Structure 1
Amino acid sequence: MVKPSWAFVITYFIIFLNLLLGSVFATIPADPLAQQELDKVLKLPGQTFNLSFAHYAGYATVNEDSGRALFYWLVEAAEDPGSKPVVLWLNGGPGCSSIAYGEAEEVGPFHIMADGKTLYLNPYSWNQVANILFLDSPVGVGFSYSNTSSDLLSNGDKRTAKDSLAFLLKWFERFPQYKGRDFYITGESYGGHYVPQLSQAIVKHNLETKEKAINLKGYMVGNALTDDYHDHLGVFQFMWSAGLISDQTYKSLNLLCDFQSFIHTSNSCDNILDIASAELGNIDPYSIYTPACPANVSQSNRLLKRMHKVGRISEKYDPCTEAHSVVYFNLPEVQKALHVNPNHAPSKWATCSDVVYTTWQDSPRTVLDVYEELIHSGLRIWMFSGDTDSVIPVTSTRYSIDALKLPTVKPWRPWYDDGQVGGWTQEYAGLTFVSVRGAGHEVPLHKPKQALTLIKAFLSGSSMPSSELFSDS
């Protein structure tokens, strides 16, 4: 027997080490179940509590040629995940992270304390009723990346839907235990485009392949950008009726910003939006009755101009939660725990990408045509609205729903939470509308308990709860 030389041993060891390290960051391993196990998150920095559920984080490559890879974080249901549906959550922007907002301050279980280093469990996490999948989409958002730098400058609605569909198909291969499971899509703000567009892409894919590769049952969006004309009309009316702007500014907004795109506005529209921002003063336009984060009050002009971009907003309200996320997700030990590829980690992680936002390519002025198509497909479709948001306010959503001209099935009424009015609801043929009283742009942040009631009703397909004095009959 010929003994191997030391050079051979060292060479073999280097090859083995490269293969081992490569498998950790591979996006398409030979064995999807092996990659699932590699994606399992063992413990998060700042976690001082034990968990009754598993969670996973990693990447799936959605385009091999350019090397586009989307980052996800799956949080399994707290109890009996095998019997619960899968719910995808998408934040908007465009360019904002679902990890930053959806997971870390809204519907996820892991929320961040003011020190930016310590976690606490959200008692109203949606993983009480479902397996929650958070996706940073498109590339350039959060930890999602591309090997082709020009990809970050060419994002738009169409490619986002296409890449998100490709991600889901890969993800279900990696997590075959969820194949065929009831699947729902939820989101907010510019997610008002992402969510119905992705739903449409899934329905088309299922028809083309003649199989339910993804068992989509429905979708739900909150304070959602839907139709530019009706959204603008509702924004201006809300700000005026709430006493936030003058009569003259209200008239000028309607004159100069009618039919303007929310992504690419005119100079005259921008100028009057600046005037409106000055009249609002240093308030949080995403939640007009709660205190603004002191670090952000100087940004009010910029924030209002980007009227669809998600804001920053626990039992104890904290207006600076975005700042806590910036600290936490920039920690190297956090990125390591979440399996962020160090070769593609952003030099500075941000909640929203200005590059993605400012270079957005395509954004249709309306998605009402998508609603009309999907309502006929039989999907369960809900729209909800926090009624203290001036960015995509309740008036905008109601105008957009009215434009669909759907017959009413159950008339307008209050719904209740612990004997108190939680908001109002109306059920149409093919769509249910729910407002959440006292909530801003990020409903689960401002009213987490009521948001949990909302997702429970949506997933069960039941009406919002009534008090004993106000029955549905």
Structure 2
Amino acid sequence: MRHPLHSLLPALCWAFLFLGVCNCLKNADQVRDRITHLPGQPANVEFSHYSGYVTVNETAGRALFYWFIESPASRNPEKRPLILWLNGGPGCSSIAYGAAEEIGPFHIKSDGKTLYLNPYSWNKLANLLFLESPAGVGFSYSNTTSDLNTSGDQRTAEDAYAFLVKWFDRFPQYKYRDFYIAGESYAGHYVPQLSQIVYQRNKGIKNPVINFKGFLVGNAVIDDYHDYIGTFEYWWTHGLISDSTYKYLHIACDSESATHPSSDCIRALSIAEREQGNIDPYSIYTPPCANTSALQHNLRGHYPWMSRAYDPCTERYSQFYFNIPEVQKALHANVTRIPYPWATCSDLVSNYWGDSPVSMLPIYRELIAAGLRIWVFSGDTDSVVPVTATRYSIDALKLPTVANWYPWYDNGKVGGWSQIYKGLTLVTVTGAGHEVPLHRPRQAFILLRSFLENKPLPNA
């Protein structure tokens, strides 16, 4: 159905052409994607937001779903940078996690039907672009069924880049804007891989359309070898496993086990899981949501110690809300009627994940040498991709130290610790789990503000 404003666009564009306000042909899609109202939203919404599909491969019919949320009008969105946010899994939705329970302005109440405003939404500091990636995740789809069981890192990165190129054509006012890529968990692969593609394809261009400045990742999968060492060490030093199991894990599991675990490694991991008991591994000091065990996935994620989806009660609210037909209509989502319910994570995509390099460290070295801004943050109560794994990985880069380990503060209280290296900043957030903005929203907001201003975290 044609939007009622569609026929007026040529006249409007000619009228405003001298102001450079719009590009007639490209902004028709922008008008179509504008969200006028979400079911259950609060009344005092002061920002514009858009959602819809961008086809990234015409032949296969792969289309990725996005939700773009501008800064409030009072905060001058035209002067704010643009951040692309990616969640990991692989196979998990950036709408479910990043947008709906972490950094987005709308969070879902326990009734699964109404929304409330997040006081620490990152759109107060930047314009936010959430992407459900790859095809098969959330509302993103492919008309080629085999695409859903042949996903992997390389195609995910290429499709995300194709998305960006087309998205900037749809939103030309964001061309040349300062642009950053951010994410968490297995997006520790997505973010640097996409960053590398953008950086390499910008080479030789004086004023690139995608004005890429750097990336930010949290509790990120970085390097298989160091993930193993750091994860097992965290379990042991935090009293989650026995001495004998700690030794057994080191014998049975090596860096190759991350993608192809041996039977001995699987047995060692099963013993470790039993010893840990009914805790939330993504936030070890947080009581798990009631009946969490009934919702746990039987199959693990790409890494054998990683359950695929963080499963506090908030995940349930997303599962309910985004399957409401009126919500999907308001979001311009599910227009092709995908033959399965919207889910926070896709078992199919995750279980059949293909290529996954053992380390992101070579990409870090390339992008550090390029002078891009790179920050890595870590919630220190996550036992899935723990702070010890991150520290081992960063140490392997052998970067010179600019500012040694120091506590940073929020209103006189320690918010975490930081170390500044030449080319990279490490930040920990005390008391935060795998999803730092979910558990420590105020501290995550302070972290982002410092990142965007390229300033150290406050030391007093």
Q: TM class by shorter-chain length?
A: over 0.9
Equivalent residues, number: 439
1:382, 1:458 within 8 Å by CA — same for their partners in 2? yes
Q: Secondary structure of 2:88's partner?
A: coil
Residue among 271, 275, 295 paired with 1:275: 271
Counterpart of 2:31 in structure 1: which amino acid? Answer: E
User: 1:183 & 1:106 partners in 2: Cα distance?
Assistant: 20
> Given the alignment of the two structures, is residue 307 of structure 1 paired with residue 301 of structure 2, yes or no?
no
Partner of 1:61: 55
The one of 394, 398, 412 equivalent to 1:401 is: 394
Match of 1:41 among 25, 35, 41: 35
| 3-state SS, counterpart of residue 260 of structure 1 | helix
The correspondence for 1:203, drawn from 181, 199, 217, is 199
User: What residue is the counterpart of 2:17 in the other structure?
Assistant: none
Choose 1 or 2 for highest CA Rg.
1
Q: Measure, in 2, the Cα distance between the counterparts of 1:430 and 1:423.
A: 20
Distance 1:169 1:138 in 2: 16
Alpha carbons 2:92, 2:309 under 8 Å: kept: no
Q: Which residue of 1 aligns with 2:365?
A: 372
Matches within 5 A, 1:151-300: 151-207=147-203, 211-297=207-293, 299=296
- TM-score by length of structure 1 reads 0.90
Amino acid of the residue matched to residue 459 of structure 2?
A: S
Whether 2:132 is the aligned partner of 1:136: answer yes
Question: What is the alpha-carbon distance in structure 2 between the residues aligned to residue 326 and residue 346 of structure 1?
Answer: 16
- Aligned-pair distance for 1:301? 7.1
Residue 445 of structure 1 is matched in structure 2 by: 438
CA distance in 2, matches of 1:43, 1:201: 35
Deviations 1:121-180 (A, max 9, x none): 010000010000000000000000011111111110000110000000000000001000
Note if contact 2:132-2:139 (Cα within 8 Å) is conserved in structure 1.
yes
**1:82 aligned residue (65, 78, 85):** 78
Q: Is 1:95 paired with 2:95?
A: no
Cα deviation, residue 302, structure 1? 5.0
Amino acid at match of 1:110: F
Matched residue type, 1:415? W
Q: Residues of 2 paired with 1:134 and 1:457: CA distance?
A: 21
Give the C-alpha shift of residue 300 in structure 1. Answer: 8.0
| Mapped contact 1:189–1:309 kept (Cα < 8 A) | no
Q: Please state whether the residue corresponding to 2:157 is helix, strand or coil.
A: helix
Q: Is the 8 A contact 1:278 1:301 kept in 2?
A: no
Q: How does 1:294-373 map to 2 (within 5 A)?
A: 294-297=290-293, 299=296, 306-308=304-306, 311-312=309-310, 319-373=312-366
CA distance in 1, matches of 2:375, 2:391: 12
SS of the residue 2:216 aligns to: strand
Indicate the SS of the match to 1:31.
Answer: helix
**SS of structure 1 residue aligned to 2:255:** coil
Name the residue aligned to 1:120: 116
For residue 312 of structure 1, report the CA deviation from its aligned partner.
2.9
SS at match of 2:258: coil
1: CA distance, partners of 2:183 / 2:339: 24
Deviation of the 1:255 alpha carbon: 1.1
Q: Cα deviation per residue 1:165-220 (whole Å; 9 max; x = unaligned)?
A: 00000000000010000000100000000000000000111116665131010001
Residue of structure 2 in register with 1:6 after alignment:
none
Cα deviations across residues 66-99 of structure 1 (Å, max 9, x unaligned)? 1111000000012210000000110000000000
The one-character-per-residue Cα deviations of 1:318-374 (angstroms, maximum 9, x if unpaired) are x31000000000100000000014324352111000000011110001010000011
Paired residues of 1:88 and 1:133 also in contact (CA < 8 A): yes
Task: Name the CA shift for 1:310/1:209 in 2 (closer, same or farther; >3 Å).
Answer: farther
2:95 corresponds to which letter in structure 1? I
Q: Secondary structure at the match of 1:381?
A: strand
Contact 1:45 1:118 (8 Å CA) reproduced:
yes
Shift of 1:246: 0.5
1:70 equivalenced with 2:68 (yes/no): no
**Are the structure 2 counterparts of residues 325 and 108 from structure 1 closer, same or farther at C-alpha, using a change threshold of 3 Å?**
same
Q: Is the 8 A contact 1:283 1:300 kept in 2?
A: no
Residue 416 (structure 1) aligns with: 409
CA distance in 1, matches of 2:265, 2:214: 36
Structure 2: tracts of 5 or more residues without a match: 7-22
Alpha-carbon distance between aligned partners in 1 of 2:299 and 2:161, rounded to the nearest angstrom: 32
- Report which stretch shifted further, 297-306 or 183-192: 297-306
TM-score, normalising length: structure 2: 0.92
CA distance change for structure 1 residues 229 and 355 in 2, over 3 Å: closer, same or farther? same
CA deviation string 1:107-129 (max 9, x = no partner): 00110011100100010000010
Q: 1:203 to 1:122 in 2, by over 3 A?
A: same
Q: SS of the residue aligned with 2:344?
A: coil
CA shift at 1:307, angstroms?
A: 3.4
Offset of 1:260 from its aligned partner?
2.9
Question: Secondary structure of 2:141's match?
Answer: coil
Structure 1 partner of 2:10: none
Contact 2:85 2:183 in 1 (8 A): yes
CA distance in 1: counterparts of 2:330 and 2:264, whole angstroms: 48
- Larger mean CA deviation between 145-154 and 260-269 belongs to 260-269
| Cα distance in 2 between the residues matched to 1:166 and 1:261 | 32
Q: Residue 261 and residue 192 in structure 1: after superposition, are their counterparts in 2 closer, same or farther (change >3 A)?
A: farther
Cα RMSD over matched residues? 1.9
* Residues in 2 aligned to 1:264 and 1:95: alpha-carbon distance in whole angstroms: 19
The alignment-based identity, stated in percent, is 60
Q: Which residue among 80, 103, 108 is the counterpart of 1:107? A: 103
- Unpaired runs of 5+ residues, structure 1, are 1-16, 24-28, 314-318, 468-473
